[in-house]
Amino acid sequence: ANSPVTITLAAADDASKTTVYTIIFQVYVPPTEITAFDAIPDVAAGTAGSATYADAAAVIAALPTTVTANANTVNVPVTTWVDTDAYDPAAAGSYTFTATLGAIPAGYANSGGYTATVEVVVAAAPVSVVVNTLGTEGNLTTGTNAYNIQDNTSLGLWSFAIAKDKLPAAFAGATGYKLVIGSTEYTLDVNMFNSNLYQYDVPDTFTDDQIRNGSLVAIF
């Protein structure tokens, strides 16, 4: 803060002769340095081939015009965003956009040249094949069998299972699988004893042929 102080000076030979000076002491407060920009949640851009944003310009138009720093204590304007990863709406991936900052607010400095980034994520398009095209059917612990349908209709169900390592290459990298029969979807469970096997007990309201002609969908 600025603190005014008044000083009165008198002549040595005549105390009635005075001069008044007002001195203002200025206290210098250094600016607060920006040490980091706060994380921005990923922006979901739909799936490859039908992404929400047709190009980088569409992404930039949807990104925020301000960002925060130092644990949300200061707002900094953004003049634009730069596509630093060559955004491609047809290719699944996480694309980084980097902020071009506007004027740093009064009382703050950005000597370290920090800036904000955000990830725009294009998800992989679903991979789906008809079950009976996966490969041969049978015991999954032997041979090259990719799927198996066990008749447990005495219990009201068919036990359907797949072997992850025997699926087509298009399924590589999947984190899970769904069995789709008509309009009904079942998310397969990981076998508790073998993480390579995924399974689901399908109600016997469906036939085994309906299961074979259903679709296996990869979840990425």
Question: Structural domain of residue 194, as residue ranges?
Answer: 127-219
Measure Cα distances from 42 to 63, 86, 94, 114, 145 in Å: 11, 17, 9, 19, 39
Q: Are 167 and 134 in contact (CB under 8 A)?
A: yes
Q: Are 144 and 135 in contact (CB under 8 A)?
A: yes
68-124 pLDDT tens trace: 999 999 999 999 999 999 999 999 999 999 999 999 999 999 999 999 999 999 998
Q: What is the pTM of this model?
A: 0.61
55: in domain: yes
Closest CA to 102 of 80, 83, 118, 117: 80
User: Is 81 found in the same domain as 46?
Assistant: yes
21: in domain: no
Domain boundary (99, 123, 147) is at: 123
Q: Are 121 and 43 in contact (CB under 8 A)?
A: yes
User: Is 133 found in the same domain as 74?
Assistant: no
**Helix residue ranges, H only, 54-168:** 56-62
Question: What local confidence, expressed as pLDDT, does residue 18 receive?
Answer: 74
Give the total number of structural domains in the chain.
Answer: 2
17: in domain: no
User: Is 142 found in the same domain as 119?
Assistant: no
Q: Are 170 and 177 in contact (CB under 8 A)?
A: no
Which of helix, strand or coil describes residue 113?
Answer: coil
Q: Collect the ranges in the chain with pLDDT lower than 70.
A: 1-3, 8-11
